[in-house]
Structure 1
Amino acid sequence: MSETRRKLTTIFCADVQDYTRLMGADEEGTLATLKRCRDAMGNLIESHGGRVVNTWGDGLIADFPSVVEAVRAAVDTQNELAGFNAARPSDGRMLFRIGINLGDVIVDGDDIYGDGVNIAARLQASAAPGGIVISSTVYDQVRNKVAVGFEFLGPLLVKNVEDGVPSYAVKIGDGSEEATPDERPVARPQPKAAVTTEARPVPGGRRLYAALGVIAAVLVAINLLSWQGVFWARFPVLALAVIAALAWNRDQSRFDRKIAALAIVALGIIGINLFTWEGRFWAVWPMLGLAAAIGLRWSMRR
């Protein structure tokens, strides 16, 4: 009887786009192509230190001790399969979608289970044909270590994950011919129960901003109704504004989020200095420290 245990690992999940249609058109040819593609994928996974955990139908799950090697294996897989598909007719190409997540899983024998696996499956479901989608836990580990670009897709709603999963599409080179009809990954219904949940942006941001706005308005009203010559509400309102800005920054993709967070904190410090003005701009010193941190962060970007 196998013993279950837990471990932190990188989960690699892949399956074929339009597999049912391909099987309906040519069962034997599709099975032969699937075996060829999956053998190539398995070899690349092993060459990057990974392990194929399980295969089912047109799907495959692997795990990696290294997050970087998992992403490199996915990129190499999609590049190799793109070359294989280039010589095939457009309606006969076998395009895999890959999702990668770093998470805690339950190990039972050779299999792995848990939310970490489910999240990888849903990331895969949101990938474009021939594309790769990774979770933010993976992105944080590989963003400066793999020679590819990334596009922030926003938080994806996943069953049993309350706050959603921020995700990124991996940009391989200048994009493949196969992926052009779906440049941005979108969620699609899946025939397998493991990946049927639709991925979509979490709608909590607007509710948070509305709640912070209501709290700020109430504080200002209390201050005015109990006026004693001091506008004390400016401090909690400033704090609420900083919280709202940081929440906005968490989901935006236009600027580097860590640099933007430092800039928001700097503006908050300037606000405190102005609200407590006594003829001295003391905020220049923490501003200098934050500017140095921003400069270091900018210089280290890939």
Structure 2
Amino acid sequence: MEERVQRRLAAILAADVVGYSAMMERAEEATYAEIGRLRREVIEPGLSGYQGRLIKTTGDGILAEFASPVSAVRCAAEIQKQLLSAAGPIQLRIGINLGDVIVDAQGDVFGDGINIAARLESIADPGGILVSGKVHSEVEGKLDVAFEDRGEQYLKNISKPVRAFAVRSGAEQPIAAIRAAPALPDKPSIAVLPFQNMSGDPEQEYFADGMVEDIITALSRFKSLFVIARNSSFTYKGKSVDIKQVGRELGVRYVLEGSVRSSSNRVRITAQLIDAETGGHLWAERYDRDLADIFAVQDEITEAVAIAIQPAVEQMEQWRAVRKPPESLSSWEAYQRGLWHAARIGTADNEAAETFFRRAIDLDPSFAPAHAWLVIAILSKAWLYQTKGMSEALDEALPVAQKAISLDPLDAVAHCGVGYAWFFRGDHDGALVEARQALKVNLNYAGAHQLLGSTLVFSGHPREGIEGLRMAMRLDPNDLQRQVRLVHISMGYYFLRDYDAAADAAKAIVRSHPDLGTRSLAAALGQAGRLDEAKQALQKTITVAPKAFEMFVRRRAPWFRPEDHQHILEGLRKAGWEG
């Protein structure tokens, strides 16, 4: 007869010594003795005092079981309090979860309830306590502690996200405030660690260090990033590091690391961007180059890495913000949530984006980028979706755009917000001034290249405009608004009278967004003499987007020059339009 599996609901506490391996390397016997004393004098009495049962010990950690989550949190808080008061060399991270566990005949316990506690411990602050949402719901209001919502966490080998809360004291200060890691800034933070020289050639050491310094400088131009200074990053040079520990010590969410290896006249550079909270890789790339001009290679790799990192970080920040409850969003997170919706084509998403940008401004009225993106959301109602008149939208958007600039004259996003207000008003010169000013602030900002390219296309310089739009797509190839860039590239080719290229660009859009690309497709096919295809595209654009057809064809949008508008009408008439 099979033995019946025993299960029970238990609060599981997992604790681990911070920096254990490094401590053992520095002073093995002293560390071993100190951890033994910690168990005898602090942990075991603490477990006993709160009816906890020690399940398992490892070299640097413990696993314990409690019948009550209240007792588990009280015990953890007492242990951390004693360690803080002692001011000794040992710090613990503690994770607590409430879950169903399997119990074997020897009293060992197994299951996801334990795995989640261990994963929470691994991402807790040094000297801190991180509990699952289940624990939080059971103990909230029953203890003299407060909780900081850390949002949903995707834990290693756990299929579903786990809501996590950091335990704070009654005064809402961290339990280990004196030795706690720096708090994360209110925008994405990154440290660039010294790249490892795999060549054994001292010359490559200078090359690698110089490239890292340049990457730090390049990333610092992005005002949306908090970048750790070189001096702090280079304290890790030549050391074997734990990325999660680096993140906690420097107070950053992302870490860039890499290596350099040279052979003969070739060099291979690898770089990877890591989420310091989870240890997960967000982006990685390898670059193989000739070393004919070492400084040119250094500049090229610096630019390539800087260009790749900002969109990867922004995507991750939006992913985090989307998974937080709306009521707990900060201004930065509300802004990121707005960007997430703004990147998706559709009326409902644009309305949601506008709502979140307004909320970001309500939470922080001095936040310039939120004002700038609110301008885009307002203007999109007229330009893309025809749910608002253009004149009315401009009247509403212009004061917001000017506010963005007044808040931060050196913000590239703010200059683009003002630039788009001028563009949609038909003031090409004003739009070009703002686009070029944005590029002075940050040459790698894709939005500024898009504004420059679009303005050039519609102001009589389509060839240069196409180059600007293609640069925007190169800088941010995964931007979901690439369809808008393709629309303007299609128009650029049309104005150049390269009708086949215009049709090809438009076809890349209409598969997913027929309301955006069919007008230029019909006109281009009409001019190219492909009349059967042109008539089908014309019928689709009139049927799918009648309001847009009214705005762009029967009337003339302000940013179209009269001669360009007549050129479009010529193509549509060849496609069969009788207007």
TM over 0.5: yes
Q: Which is helix-richer, 1 or 2? A: 2
Give the 5 Å matches for 1:195-234.
198=279, 203=319, 205=322
1:104 corresponds to which of 100, 105, 109: 100
| Equivalent residue number for residue 33 of structure 1 | 34
Q: Which has more radius of gyration? A: 2
Aligned-residue CA RMSD (Å) = 3.6
Q: Is the 8 Å Cα contact of residues 11 and 101 (structure 1) preserved in structure 2?
A: yes
How far 1:167 sits from its partner (Å)?
0.4
| Equivalent residue number for residue 180 of structure 2 | 180
CA distance in 1, matches of 2:100, 2:318: 23
How far 1:182 sits from its partner (Å)?
3.6
| Equivalent residue number for residue 94 of structure 1 | 90
Instruction: Give CA deviations for 1:73-126 in whole Å, capped at 9, x if unaligned.
Output: 000000111122x2x4xxxx1000000000111112321111111110111111
CA distance in 1, matches of 2:54, 2:245: 25
CA distance in 1, matches of 2:20, 2:168: 24
| Equivalent residue number for residue 164 of structure 1 | 161
Q: Is the 8 Å Cα contact of residues 100 and 138 (structure 1) preserved in structure 2?
A: yes
When structure 1 is superposed on structure 2, of 47-56 and 37-46 the one drifting more is 37-46
Q: Give me the TM-score of the superposition, normalised by structure 1.
A: 0.60
CA distance in 1, matches of 2:49, 2:66: 11
Q: Structure 2: 5+ residue runs without aligned partners?
A: 190-242, 247-276, 281-315, 323-336, 357-579
**SS of 1:123 mapped into structure 2:** helix
Q: Structure 1: 5+ residue runs without aligned partners?
A: 191-195, 219-236, 246-302
Q: Which has the higher contact order (CA 8 A, sep 6+)?
A: 1
Q: Is the 8 Å Cα contact of residues 123 and 278 (structure 2) preserved in structure 1?
A: no
| Equivalent residue number for residue 77 of structure 2 | 75
Q: Is the 8 Å Cα contact of residues 129 and 178 (structure 1) preserved in structure 2?
A: no
| Equivalent residue number for residue 257 of structure 2 | none
**SS of 1:180 mapped into structure 2:** coil
CA distance in 2, matches of 1:202, 1:108: 43
Q: Is the 8 Å Cα contact of residues 125 and 180 (structure 2) preserved in structure 1?
A: no
- Mapped pair 1:47 → 2:49: yes
How far 1:162 sits from its partner (Å)?
3.7
Q: Is the 8 Å Cα contact of residues 11 and 65 (structure 2) preserved in structure 1?
A: yes
Q: Is the 8 Å Cα contact of residues 126 and 180 (structure 2) preserved in structure 1?
A: no
CA distance in 2, matches of 1:120, 1:163: 14
Q: Give me the TM-score of the superposition, normalised by structure 2.
A: 0.33
- Mapped pair 1:12 → 2:13: yes
Q: Is the 8 Å Cα contact of residues 153 and 168 (structure 1) preserved in structure 2?
A: yes
1:147 corresponds to which of 120, 144, 147: 144
How far 1:177 sits from its partner (Å)?
4.6
**SS of 2:44 mapped into structure 1:** helix
Instruction: Give CA deviations for 1:207-226 in whole Å, capped at 9, x if unaligned.
Output: 9x85xx889859xxxxxxxx
Instruction: Give CA deviations for 1:152-174 in whole Å, capped at 9, x if unaligned.
Output: 00100024544400101001353
Identity of aligned residues (%): 36
How far 1:189 sits from its partner (Å)?
7.0
**SS of 2:125 mapped into structure 1:** coil
How far 1:127 sits from its partner (Å)?
0.9
| Equivalent residue number for residue 566 of structure 2 | none
Q: How many residues align?
A: 212
Q: Is the 8 Å Cα contact of residues 148 and 165 (structure 2) preserved in structure 1?
A: yes
CA distance in 2, matches of 1:3, 1:36: 39
1:132 corresponds to which of 100, 124, 129: 129
CA distance in 2, matches of 1:141, 1:29: 40
How far 1:197 sits from its partner (Å)?
5.7
CA distance in 2, matches of 1:22, 1:160: 28
CA distance in 1, matches of 2:59, 2:318: 31
The one-letter code matched in structure 1 to 2:97 is N
**SS of 2:144 mapped into structure 1:** coil
Instruction: Give CA deviations for 1:230-250 in whole Å, capped at 9, x if unaligned.
Output: xxxxxxx9xxx9xx99xxxxx
Change (3 A) 1:27 1:10: same
CA distance in 1, matches of 2:245, 2:318: 18
**SS of 2:43 mapped into structure 1:** helix
Q: Is the 8 Å Cα contact of residues 128 and 183 (structure 1) preserved in structure 2?
A: no
Q: Is the 8 Å Cα contact of residues 189 and 197 (structure 1) preserved in structure 2?
A: no
Change (3 A) 1:147 1:104: same
CA distance in 2, matches of 1:201, 1:17: 27
Q: Which is strand-richer, 1 or 2? A: 1
Change (3 A) 1:202 1:108: farther
Q: Is the 8 Å Cα contact of residues 122 and 197 (structure 1) preserved in structure 2?
A: no
CA distance in 1, matches of 2:317, 2:67: 30
CA distance in 1, matches of 2:119, 2:18: 14
Q: Is the 8 Å Cα contact of residues 20 and 60 (structure 2) preserved in structure 1?
A: yes
| Equivalent residue number for residue 119 of structure 1 | 116
| Equivalent residue number for residue 64 of structure 1 | 66
Q: Is the 8 Å Cα contact of residues 148 and 167 (structure 2) preserved in structure 1?
A: yes
